C-alpha cells in the first residue's frame, strides 16, 4: 500500500513539476512589415529570436509574423507594441511623424555611412538623450540603415535630373530634404514602393540597397544613384520595441535573457545585417546589368550644399518643441564619428 501511495504521490509531484515548467514557458509574438526573405526578418530578427530561445533554454519561444500578418498598417506597429496587441515589433520611427523628434537628428542629410557603426552611435545617443521618447515600451534596440540612395525609372546623373520628380520619402525629415533638392516627395511605407513604381505613382524611391531585392525594385527601377564619400544622402531610423507588460510578466531570469540581447548587442546585430544586405542588394543589381551611378565629389558637394537647408528647417521645428536641434545634431555627429573610427 505504501509503495502505491508513494507512486501516486510521485506521479502528482511529477505532474505538478510539468505544470510549473509549462507555466514558465513564454511565447512572444514578433510583428513586422517586410516579407520573410527581406534582410531584417531573415538576417536580424530570425537570428535574434534563435539566440533568445537558446539562451532561455527553450523557455522563451519567439513567433515571427511578417508582412503585417497580425493586422494593421506599418505606421501602427509601435502602438501595437505599446498597447499589447503584439509583444515585440520592428518598426520605422519616421512612419509616425513628429513622435520621435530627438531621434530625427540621425536622419539629417549626409550624416552617416555604414549601418553597424552608425547603429551603435544611434543606440548610445538614444540611451543618453532620447529614452523619454520610448517610455511607453521596453526598448530592445534602435538602429539605422546604410548609405541612402535613389532608385529611379530614369537616370539621376545630376541635381537637375531630380527637379519635379515624384520621389518616395520614408520619413518627415527625408521629405523635407527632397523638397530642398527640388523633388516632389511622396510619403509611403516601404512595402508599397514596388507597386507605386510599377504604376508610375512615383518615378523614384529612397531606399537602401538591402531592401531592393525583397521588393524587386531592381526589376522596375533600373537606375540607381549614390554619392561620393563614405556617407549616404540620408538614413532612416528603426526600433525593436517590446510591450512593457509582456516584459514585466517575465520571471527575473528570463528578463535577463531579453536584457542580454538588448542595447548595443542588438543594435550591432541589426546594423551588421543591414550592411551585409547592402552588399547583397548591390550585387543583384549589378548582375542584372542595371545602371548604377556614383556622383562625382564635385556633384556630391552640390547636393550637400542644398540638402543642408534641411538642418535649418529641422532646428526651427524642434525648437518649437523645446529642443536644441543644433546641440542634438552635434551630439549625433560626435557619436557617429566615434564609432566610425573603431
- Interval 250-279: pLDDT, tens: 999 999 999 999 999 999 999 999 999 999
So what's the pLDDT on residue 16?
43
So what's the pLDDT on residue 14?
45
| Minimum mean pLDDT range among 20-24, 56-60, 138-142, 271-275 | 20-24
| Minimum mean pLDDT range among 24-33, 96-105, 134-143, 327-336 | 24-33
So what's the pLDDT on residue 135?
98
- Interval 11-35: pLDDT, tens: 444 444 343 344 448 999 999 999 9
Which domains, from first to last, does the chain contain?
Answer: 27-96+112-145+236-277 (3.40.190.170), 150-234+286-340 (3.40.190.170)
Q: Give the DSSP per-residue string, 253-321.
A: HHHHHHHHTSTHHHHHHHHHHHHHHHHHHHHHHHHTT-EEEE--HHHHHHHHHHHTHHHHHHHHHHHTT
Judging by DSSP bridges, how do beta strands 138-144 and 237-242 pair with one another? antiparallel
Does pLDDT of 245 surpass 80?
A: yes
Residue 341 neighbours by CB distance under 10 Å: 7
On average, the pLDDT of the chain sits at 93
Kindly state the percentage of the chain with pLDDT values over 70.
93
Looking up cell 538588448 gives: 262
CA-nearest of 327, 72, 92 to 211 is: 92
The C-alpha atoms of residue 323 and residue 211 are separated, in whole angstroms, by 33
Question: What is the mean pLDDT of the segment spanning 89-109?
Answer: 97
So what's the pLDDT on residue 342?
81
What φ, ψ does residue 174 adopt, rounded to 5°?
-65, -40
Question: What is the mean pLDDT of the segment spanning 233-258?
Answer: 97
The C-alpha atoms of residue 227 and residue 148 are separated, in whole angstroms, by 9
Amino acid at each position: 500500500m505504501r509503495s502505491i501511495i508513494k507512486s501516486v504521490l510521485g506521479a502528482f509531484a511529477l505532474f505538478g513539476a510539468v505544470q510549473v515548467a509549462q507555466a514558465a514557458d513564454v511565447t512572444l509574438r514578433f510583428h513586422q512589415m517586410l516579407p520573410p526573405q527581406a534582410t531584417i526578418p531573415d538576417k536580424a530578427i530570425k537570428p535574434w529570436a534563435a539566440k533568445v530561445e537558446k539562451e532561455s533554454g527553450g523557455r522563451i519561444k519567439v513567433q515571427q509574423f511578417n508582412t503585417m500578418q497580425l493586422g494593421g498598417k506599418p505606421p501602427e506597429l509601435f502602438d501595437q507594441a505599446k498597447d499589447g496587441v503584439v509583444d515585440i515589433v520592428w518598426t520605422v520611427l519616421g512612419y509616425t511623424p513628429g513622435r520621435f523628434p530627438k531621434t530625427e537628428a540621425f536622419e539629417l542629410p549626409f550624416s552617416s555611412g555604414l549601418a553597424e557603426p552608425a547603429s551603435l552611435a544611434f543606440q548610445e545617443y538614444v540611451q543618453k538623450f532620447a529614452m523619454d521618447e520610448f517610455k511607453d515600451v521596453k526598448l530592445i534596440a534602435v538602429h539605422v540603415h546604410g548609405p541612402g540612395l535613389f532608385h529611379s525609372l530614369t537616370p539621376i546623373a545630376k541635381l537637375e535630373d531630380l527637379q519635379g520628380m515624384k520621389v518616395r520619402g520614408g520619413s518627415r525629415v527625408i521629405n523635407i530634404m527632397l523638397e530642398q533638392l527640388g523633388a516632389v516627395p511622396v510619403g509611403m511605407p516601404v512595402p508599397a514602393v514596388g507597386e507605386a513604381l510599377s504604376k508610375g505613382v512615383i518615378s523614384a524611391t529612397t531606399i537602401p540597397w538591402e531592401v531592393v531585392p525583397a521588393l524587386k525594385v531592381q526589376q522596375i527601377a533600373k537606375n540607381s544613384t549614390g554619392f561620393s564619400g563614405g556617407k549616404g544622402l540620408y538614413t532612416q531610423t528603426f526600433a525593436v520595441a517590446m510591450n512593457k507588460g509582456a516584459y514585466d510578466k517575465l520571471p527575473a531570469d528570463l528578463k535577463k535573457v531579453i536584457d542580454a540581447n538588448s542595447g548595443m548587442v542588438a543594435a550591432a546585430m541589426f546594423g551588421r545585417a543591414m550592411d551585409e544586405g547592402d552588399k547583397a542588394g548591390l550585387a543583384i543589381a549589378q548582375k542584372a546589368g542595371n545602371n548604377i551611378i556614383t556622383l562625382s565629389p564635385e556633384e556630391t558637394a552640390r547636393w550637400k550644399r542644398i540638402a543642408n537647408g534641411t538642418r535649418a528647417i529641422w532646428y526651427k521645428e524642434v525648437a518649437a518643441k523645446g529642443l536644441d536641434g543644433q546641440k542634438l545634431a552635434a551630439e549625433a555627429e560626435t557619436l557617429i564619428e566615434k564609432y566610425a573610427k573603431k
